[in-house]
Structure 1
């Protein structure tokens, strides 16, 4: 209950004098997070710490109903704010009070609370909504993938709009509770750990929890019929994998790859440090896409990833992202090298481990395969631009840059750096500039010229004299045996 304070006109005037002259009226939060690649993605004026999603889904009609509860903190005196969302909203509450809302732009849900939010104050935002996600198109595509028995959501750099309202930018990470009600006989899979499962009059509810901060595009949901396997890695990390029963000729290859998750998580821990999450795994639904995505703790794999047979290399790539991309997320999408360069380099380390080509042989092959006039070299891995964010050069030239860094600072400093980065920025965000600073601190070397040449110059960099001599003296560089499996991770 609020109490009214009665004061005289003179007393009121005196009180006004205590307000700093610089105090400004509350203002709207920005309709974007300030990312130059995607100006309308994310929002300003607040930060989210937790998403609680309570959903009901009917596979036969693709009808999704939901109530999302967001716990947020205002970062300015806030008169209104936006969420990124594309389904139909029926009600919004802010701190228990009805709020005005309207749709603006392509994916903006603009919310005006009944009273402004003070900077530093907490806010509980409840959004009730419904819709048919597969009928929602934004920027010319639909990230919600229908399957024969349900649906899947896993995409990059955007996916959240199709199933929950959010501050959709990786710079604002939060924990998640995802509760999904589906018809009996249907399963629901999401990130983290399945905390409970219950029956409700012909329906089954699955409750999933991811208790470490997660970028919104890394939140995933798969609904349908799955064959689920569970176990632990050799070090004891719980592993849950799932497969659609109708994967056809790719079924055995998918299992022969994804079932190695526990082994590969532990192997990667030797390079990157302790696994950062409480569970691991992956799922392979019956979809027609060709990509995989490092959705946190529960990697999404398209069946096409395994059309050529078992491919542990693509599993290595996506699991490496759990450190480089998931635990430590990029601050801006221009920092994508920190995700894709290192996940690709993990594949190079795996190739070396499997005696299918050393990291140096792979680096030599990439360098020799692209002449100076090749457009490959015009893409700058450190700032590729939105149109080339997932170009081959971000992966291949990006991993080549890492090998050059390794050769420059030496193995001792390099492998110390691989562990130090995810340790220092665990569950947060990082930039390429911060990574360079850490590399310089650990190695004691100035690395500005190296980073400029290999990440930011739109032309083919020169190799050190010794490397030039090695390549010029050798026969034409052949593709290492691992090359095709490595490239499978770059399918889009």
Structure 2
């Protein structure tokens, strides 16, 4: 026989009052941040301020062991929350207490704290984990590159999920401390400034710090045997470049390119304003992939970028991203033009500066390469879709849009916009529409129709013209190939990650 317990109304009210508001009103954080291109990327319910990663990596076995301490602020009353992560997890603690956790699908780590978390609270999350990153196949590929002497994490739109738990979307940027222990004789390269290096019982620990907000896909790790060069800019910023000891016959071309990092950055400050971070550099590991990536403060360059000789243009491209893409990041991945159109145009400006072809000459040449029926004109740089996110049209048609803008408003306003935009949006995020509105405000001209034609119309616009010119060039006159074109074209696959 079951007896029904009757609780007096006054006692029931007292019991309800004893339940924390966070428990009564809490709900799970969303398993995605809301990006239509990548619905599983990122998470809702919290904002990360800092990642502290303490790692140990054995190159011979590809075993990565890690403890990630993640500092977050809750944005709602949370009953549970997700982290993006693929490796096996052994323990999770929330504010020092053990929390329940479970893996869902390829990339979701679901954490349920013992008691719900109230909105607006500072929370520490500790995740202990281990595994072999190269064995993770997520969304059909791996972002972890095995090398003969180690491993490399560098990929876009995400790579963090292979080596540390995160809120893996550019909308949630944070500062980083990344400390990595590797066997003696091996180095660990990461973002920012090397804080310390110490050895103990056959292992050497390298500790790196990035003190400005950084998107998770821009965090990088390269373990291997490197030749390292160091220097400082005229302003005192540390420069650290690293080259695999096994680059073969491209070693000279790689060094002849990446060693000009300080010079290129100095020029870019004249175009885009003060450099936004605490360090400079680049690294060239012995990987088979062919792309490069703007990993914050220390871009990744594959050896194939230098297969045909030195290529400073790719260095220009990746360093331009430090302003356009890293400091000012996309709001959503459909806004990729505010990264790639500007990085590509910086290559045109470098060509102009070096006397190897003006931006207008390059625009004329690119435009002439694509007749009206070319599928090139069907790609919309302002919203290309996830399958066309890194299509050459996003780069070249994106740069043509900027040349059209320059012709419309003149050099004074155009270069004021190039410098003012990363200053106004420093360390934040932006949409294509935000840039259009900013350009209209600075120039005082209506520009939405012009940029809509170049960024969203699936057809060939009229050719962009130089400032002051109001007549289109003769279609019969084929533009001569600018001297810089071969070097620029060699970077056409700079972010083509289809060779995962």
Q: Indicate if the aligned counterparts of 2:363 and 2:464 stay in contact, CA closer than 8 A.
A: no
Displacement of 1:489 in angstroms is 2.5
**Residues 274-311 of structure 1: CA deviation (Å, up to 9, x unaligned):** 00011100000011111000000011000100011111
**Superposed counterparts of 1:123-272, under 5 Å:** 123-272=123-272
- Offset of 1:462 from its aligned partner? 2.4
Shift of 1:471: 2.1
CA contact (8 A) 1:47 1:172 kept: yes
Do residues 453 (structure 1) and 453 (structure 2) align?
yes
- 1:310 equivalent to 2:280? Answer no
Aligned to 2:484: 482
Return closer, same or farther for 1:486/1:24 CA change in 2, 3 Å cut-off. farther
1:345 corresponds to 2:345 = yes
Structure 1 segment 51-450 matched on structure 2, within 5 A: 51-450=51-450
5+ residue gaps, structure 2, are 1-7
Distance of 1:78 and 1:189 partners within structure 2: 36
- Asked if structure 2 preserves the Cα contact closer than 8 Å seen for 1:237 and 1:262, the reply is no
* Cα distance in structure 1, aligned partners of 2:472 and 2:490: 29
Q: Which residue of 2 aligns with 1:472?
A: 474
Contact kept in structure 1, 2:133 and 2:163, CA below 8 Å: yes
Q: Cα offset for 1:463?
A: 3.8
What SS does structure 2 have at the residue aligned with 1:364?
A: helix
CA RMSD, aligned part only? 2.1
How far apart, in 1, do the equivalents of 2:182 and 2:158 lie?
24
Separation of aligned partners in 2, 1:174 and 1:487: 34
Q: Which position in structure 2 is the counterpart of 1:37?
A: 37
**Which residue in the other structure is 1:4 paired with?**
none
- Structure 1: gaps spanning 5 or more residues: 1-7
Q: Is the 8 A contact 1:291 1:490 kept in 2?
A: no
Q: Give, in angstroms, the shift of residue 197 of structure 1.
A: 0.7
CA deviations on 1:107-153 (whole Å, 9 max, x unpaired) are 11111111111111111000000001111111111110011110111
Aligned length: 485
Mapped to 1, the partners of 2:470 and 2:135 lie a distance apart of 55
Whole-angstrom distance in 1 between the partners of 2:50 and 2:9: 44
After the TM superposition, list the runs of 4 or more consecutive aligned residues in structure 1 that deviate by more than 4 angstroms: 14-19, 464-470
Secondary structure of the structure 2 residue equivalent to 1:43? coil
What TM-score comes out, normalization by structure 1 length?
A: 0.95
Relative to the length of structure 2, the TM-score reads 0.94
| Greater shift in the superposed pair: 23-32 or 237-246 | 23-32
* Secondary structure in structure 2 of the residue aligned to 1:445: coil
Aligned partners of 1:478, 1:45: CA distance in 2, in Å?
55
TM superposition shift of 1:9 = 7.0
